[in-house]
Structure formats: structure tokens, C-alpha cells
Amino acid sequence: MRTVTEHRDAVLALAAPLTSREVPLGEALGLVLAADLVSRLDLPGFDNSAMDGYAVRAADLAGADEDHPVSLPVAGDIAAGDTAEHALEPGSTWRIMTGAPLPRGADAVVPVELSDGGDARAAMRLAPEVGRHVRRRGEDVGLGDIVLTAGQVLTPGRLALAAAANVPVVHCIPRPRVAVVSTGDELVRVGEHPAYGQIVDSNSAMLAALVEAAGAEVASVTHVPDDADRLRDWLRELPGEPDLVLTTGGVSMGAYDTVKEVLREEGGVEFVRVAMRPGMPQGCGAVGDPPIPIITLPGNPVSSFVSFHVFVWPVLRRLAGAPVVAALEDSPEVIETVAAQGWESAADKVELTRVMLGPEGAHPSRGQGSHMLGALGQADALAIVPAEITRVEAGTRVRCLPLLGHA
């Protein structure tokens, strides 16, 4: 039986970051930069005013204060967006707006609040030091400066910086696309009436939501009955040009395990038992030409949900160019809290207990059976209970992986 870390290593070995491409800023939120981003401009692009007020030579206002205003003639107005290159004659001023270019010769700005606001002459009650309320060309970013580096995630602030640096299209790693196939004769679509012995296919909706919550895209979602030919056809087609294939169901010890049967025949996929609960039966490999990574998830919705967090999420991160570690408990998403109550855990297996996080710590949600979906609606995180622990004692530290989509 494999450890969780060994199987994470195995699935991660199947995936490499996708080929980078040029993406417009408007579509790049959340993507990973594939190359350093270089500013095409100085920021600011020209000396400009940080305030609405008057552009002056500081020397002309020596000695000005509340009781001794100094009055200067106003040469005119300079608005933000004024593209003329104005000059400031000694002994005069220009009225200037925030962001407007400083006239040549000016070296300070007096805020309008410290003046009488005049438009022919203005009386100013401040003797500013040189550079006061002036934003100097290039003081924030210089033309040619590297402002973002390869590997950074494009957050809203970084997209703003890319825009300000006049870069409309960024070189980054695209969102991975995932094809999902749920298998099993027993499944009916959500909203259809299940006959005796049938169940509603919740895995399709769940996996599509998990893919989306992980920042990836759903390439296709298909249901295939337990029919080897139909599954083979689907594998040949792989609808939606996926970068990753997920199957659910058909991988346990039963006589009708179509996924196992077909993929064993085709080769390139290994089926293993992983020392975890839930989610012991796992499989991974590659299908198609060129080969695409495939992960075979158990059919139990709860096992499938847990397996997605443990094995599929890191693969999606690697495909997207984000950093990953093999050891689940060392993932950057993992938080540490205390067990608010005690609970039993499987011997010799990593137990992934569905827990609710509260001010007192982690409580297991009721109903931990792998077929029990009710508890999944209340859980916030998976507590990662190591294989050697058979009972989590109240008050002890426990590491938890917050569930996807739980901000």
C-alpha cells in the first residue's frame, strides 16, 4: 500500500506546467506569469502635481505663512491630461490639478486649501520646501524596470501594475482544462427519477465545481455506463481538448469495474491502494496521444471529493505553474488548529476527517462514512490525521486543509 505522499509524488510526476502563451490583461486574473514583466514607461511618466493647487518656485514663497500670505499672478490653468509643455516664469504661478504635468521651472506645489483659490492672482499661506507635493518622473518605476517576476500569480494589484506599465498582453500559463467522466450503470442525471437500485449522479456536478473552484476550466463532463466500448470511445475522443482527465467510479474490487478493465487493457495507468481513509482505491497514468495525465477517482462521492483535494488539486496547481509540495501536510494551504473534541481515526492510514472550523478549533462533522454526503454540506476543512494516530485527543494540534471554495 502506498503512502499519501508517495501517491502525490506519482500523480505530480505526470504533470508539467502547460505551455505559456500571450493572454490579454482582461483574461489573466489568477494566472501565473511565465516571464518577468518589464515596464514600457517611467511611472510617473512626467513630473506632476500630487495635489490640486498652485505650481510655484519654492524660492518665490520664502517667508509665506498663515499671517503673511504671498500673492503671485496666475499664468493659467494646467489640467490633468494637458499635453502642452508650459513654463513657469519666476514670480508667477500656474493653477494645477492633481496629476497634471508640472510647468518647466516649477519645483513645488501649494495645495489649494492653503491659498485663497484665486484665478487671476493667488495668495498662498505656505513656504513649501523644494519638491513638496511633486511626483517626480520615474520615482515609482523606471522604463525597463522588472515590475513583476515569472512565477507570480496575477492578482488585481499586479494586473493594475501591468496596465500602468503599458503592457496590454501578458505572457503566462493558461488555465488547465479538465475532462470529467462519471461511470456507472446505476447513475441517473440530477432531477431525473432514480428507480430502485439507481442513484443520482452527484459526482459530475461536484467535480465540475471543484475544478472551477481550483481556478481551472471544465473541458467536458460526460456520463458513460459500465460499457467498455463506450468508455474506450470516450477515451479516444477526450472531448474539450483537456489537459487532465478525471474518471469517477469503476476502480474498486468489484466484477464490473469498467474503468479499471479498460485502462488496464490500454496500458499506461496503474491502480494502487493508498493508505488513506476515505479514498483508498486510486489510479493514475496517461492516456491519448500526446499523452494526457489521468486520475481515476473512486465512485463514492465523499471519497472522490477527498481524493480531489489530496491528488487532483496539486496536479492542477502544477499544470498552472504554481508551486507544489509532495507532502500534503506541508501544502501552503494547510492551517494548524486544535481539535475541539476527540475522535477516532483509522489505524495505519491517513484519515481525512471532514471538520467544521470554529473559534474552539476543529469539530468532526457528523457522518464520516464515505457514502455520507450530508456531512459534506457542513464541513469547512479536511483534518489530516497521520497514519500512526488512532485517536485525536481534544486539545491537541491538528493540521487542516481548507476545502476548495471556502474563502
Q: Which of residues 206-265 bind a copy of itself (CB under 8 A)?
A: 206, 208-210, 212-213, 225-226, 252-256
Q: Closest CB to a copy of itself among 293 and 301?
A: 301
Give the torsion through C-alpha atoms of 292, 297, 302, 306, to 10 deg: -60
Q: Closest CB to a copy of itself among 87 and 209?
A: 209
Whole-number minimum distance, CB 298 to a copy of itself, in Å?
9
Q: What whole-number distance in Å separates Cα of residue 146 and Cα of residue 186? A: 56
Q: What whole-number distance in Å separates Cα of residue 213 and Cα of residue 147? A: 28
Q: Does position 1 bind a copy of itself by CB under 8 A? A: no
Q: Closest CB to a copy of itself among 100 and 235?
A: 100
| Cα 381 → chain centroid | 18
Q: Closest CB to a copy of itself among 152 and 337?
A: 152
What is the helix (H) or strand (E) element at residue 307, kind and residue range? helix 301-307
Q: Which of residues 94-133 bind a copy of itself (CB under 8 A)?
A: 95, 97-101, 112-113
Q: Which of residues 164-193 bind a copy of itself (CB under 8 A)?
A: 164-169, 184-187, 189-191
Q: Does position 405 bind a copy of itself by CB under 8 A? A: yes
Residue appearing with cell numbers 509532495: 326
Q: Which residues contact 193 (CB under 8 A, 6 or more apart)?
A: none
Applying CB under 8 A, the span of 37-45, 266-274, 334-342, 393-401 interacting with a copy of itself comes to 37-45
Q: Which of residues 313-342 bind a copy of itself (CB under 8 A)?
A: 333
Q: Closest CB to a copy of itself among 201 and 243?
A: 201
Q: Which of residues 361-390 bind a copy of itself (CB under 8 A)?
A: 367, 369-374, 376-377, 379
Q: Closest CB to a copy of itself among 62 and 255?
A: 255
Q: Which residues contact 181 (CB under 8 A, 6 or more apart)?
A: 221, 222, 223, 224, 231, 234, 245, 246, 247, 248
- CA distances to 40, 254, 285, 317 from 280, rounded to whole Å, are 53, 14, 17, 23
